Amino acid sequence: MKKKSAVSSLPLNEQSPLAVRMRPLTLDEFVGQAHALGKDTLVARSIKTDRLSSLIVYGPPGCGKTSLGQVISAYTQRVFVYINAALSSAGQIKEIMADADEKYAQEQKKTLVFVDEIHRFNKLQQDILLAYLESPHITIIGATLYNPFYYLVSALISRSVVVEFKPLTIEDIVRIIERALRDTQRGLGTYAIQADEDAVRFLAEQSNGDARQALTALEIGIFSSFEGDPRGPAQAPVHFTLALAKESIQKKQVRYDRDESGHYDTISSFIKSVRGSDVDSALYWLAKMIYGGEDPRFIARRLIILAAEDIGNADPFSLVLATNCFNAVEYIGMPEARIVLSETTIYLSLAPKSNASYTAIESALSDIAQQAVEEVPESLKNKTSFQKEKMQDSSEYQNPHYTKESTQHYTSNKRKYYFPKDVGREAKILNKKND
């Protein structure tokens, strides 16, 4: 049985979602991404002159990645083929490329293959694409949410132009919504709609840089408010108010993937904020993780590591608090665990910082790895009473509890690893060592 094809040309009609219908048809209609598609940029010039090689575009949802593929197809008069990497197999990729070769041989038509979610291709599938990247009649555009340097083979990246798309600004999305409301061909311009300015701006603010989400919320809010035929002569205008906008978009979406780059980038920002004693920034990143559905135990584990690595003996209670934070989070769960995480984050952010314990053990481990490992001194070995009698070893351990002026050596070579800092409770350790 033949597998269901993952290929389409993204057909456009009245039944298509508003977000699909309003995709730009030209570079002039493209909103945002001026850094990549501005008048004098490499990509814009390459598109207009049909000199574009294969391209990899990465960025958040709804910022124009798929739209760019369709714009390029329109400019270059190429056949547009859409593939979702999550649904396509190696055999289907070969079939698409064979069709493109045949179309060029018979009709002299070039093909643009748009690979959505290209990061989902395994190494074999990516290697298949390599054979076609330099074809004069096949252009491959890969789109992904994630940094391609982490997910794609280096040979694929080196043969492509890599472009990062940014989240759209609030003003960008306001422009897109207003255009959709005016457009009589693809948008909502033929409908009786009165949209309040604050409602439009609310959608733009809450969509988090995602034009698709904003247009979807607009479409849902408007068409769910019509009674009967929305184009009927007796149809009363729909008043798109702030209240209707709030109802349409529901909960604000936050770009936060729990097992991809967004996950690691956010926890990195959180830990660095705590380390830098910026309590408010730390709380902001903590809130983002909680809102995005992060496992609270993961956050608590990282706080334990931070307490040991970045605070240490400057405030030994930090490690006790962080460890108990993990226990409390595991015991009570969400949503109450957010309070414990907040309390611990605030305390660790404001605590004095010292990585002296971390650097001390790292330095000692480096010596073990790189230098000859010395033997345990005879005086420190664990000896039975029989050994002490028979071996008659003159080296005796000097117990500091009973020897007032001990000359005991605990290693053959005197080394210094621990350098306490003049902060918090560690300052007392420093002063004691200097006495």
Domains in the chain: boundaries = 7-164, 170-249, 259-374+411-435
Q: Select the more confidently predicted residue: 372 or 44.
A: 44
List pLDDT tens digits, range 184-199: 888 988 888 889 999 9
Whole-angstrom Cα distance, residue 173 to residue 200? 9
Q: How far is CA 365 from CA 119, 358, 359, 369, in A?
A: 38, 11, 10, 6
Percent of the chain predicted with pLDDT > 70: 87
**Stretch among 8-12, 252-256, 314-318 having the lowest mean pLDDT:** 8-12
- Domain covering 259-374+411-435 in this structure, CATH number: 1.20.272.10
Which pLDDT belongs to residue 280?
95
> Which of 234, 244, 243, 238 has the alpha carbon at shortest distance from 226?
238
Measure the CA–CA gap between 71 and 37, rounded to whole angstroms.
11
Q: What is the CA radius of gyration of the chain?
A: 32
pTM score, two decimals?
0.62
pLDDT for 388 equals 56
Higher pLDDT, 231 or 219: 219
CATH of domain 7-164: 3.40.50.300
Cα separation, 241 vs 54, whole angstroms: 44
Would you say 424 and 351 are in contact if contact means Cβ atoms under 8 Å apart? yes
How far is Cα 101 from Cα 106, in angstroms, rounded to an integer?
Answer: 9
Residue 209 has pLDDT above 60, yes or no: yes
98-110 as b/e: b if 16+ CB within 10 A: eebeebbeeeeeb
How sure is the predictor about 252, in pLDDT bands with cuts at 50, 70 and 90? Answer: low
Rounded Cα–Cα distance for residues 365 and 373 (Å): 11
pLDDT, tens digit, for every residue of 232-250?
A: 555 667 889 999 998 888 6
The separation between the first and the last C-alpha atoms of the chain, rounded to the nearest angstrom, is 83
State the burial class of residue 168 (Cβ atoms within 10 Å of its Cβ: 0-12, 13-18, 19+): buried
pLDDT of residue 171: 95
Is a pLDDT exceeding 70 seen at residue 6? no
**Number of Cβ atoms within 10 Å of the Cβ of 230:** 16
Q: Answer yes or no: is pLDDT of 292 > 50.
A: yes
How far apart are the C-alpha atoms of 84 and 91, rounded to whole Å?
14
Tokens of residue 301, six digits: 């584990």
Other C-beta atoms lying within 10 Å of the C-beta of residue 119? 22
Q: What is the average per-residue pLDDT within 219-242?
A: 76
Name the H helices within 23-160.
34-37, 42-48, 65-76, 90-107, 123-130, 148-151, 154-158
The pLDDT of residue 60 is: 84
Determine the pLDDT at residue 36: 87
Given a cut of 60, whether residue 82 has pLDDT beyond it is yes
Question: Sign of dihedral through CA atoms 70, 72, 75, 80?
Answer: negative
CB 271 within 8 A of CB 302: yes
- Which of the four pLDDT bands, split at 50, 70 and 90, describes residue 412? confident
pLDDT of residue 260: 58
Q: For residue 38, what pLDDT band results from cuts at 50, 70 and 90?
A: confident
CB 43, CB 75: distance < 8 Å: no
Give yes or no for residue 325 having a pLDDT over 90.
yes
Between these two residues, 146 and 183, which has the higher pLDDT value?
183
User: Which DSSP string do the residues of 343-366 spell out, in sequence order?
Assistant: HHHHHHHHS----HHHHHHHHHHH
- Specify the 3-state DSSP secondary structure of 406: coil
pLDDT digits (tens, 9 = 90+) for 130-145: 888 878 888 899 999 8
% of the chain with per-residue pLDDT over 90: 30
- Report, at the CATH architecture level, how domain 170-249 is classified: Orthogonal Bundle (1.10)
Give 332-389 pLDDT, tens digit per residue: 888 899 999 999 999 999 999 999 999 999 999 998 888 877 777 777 777 655 555 5
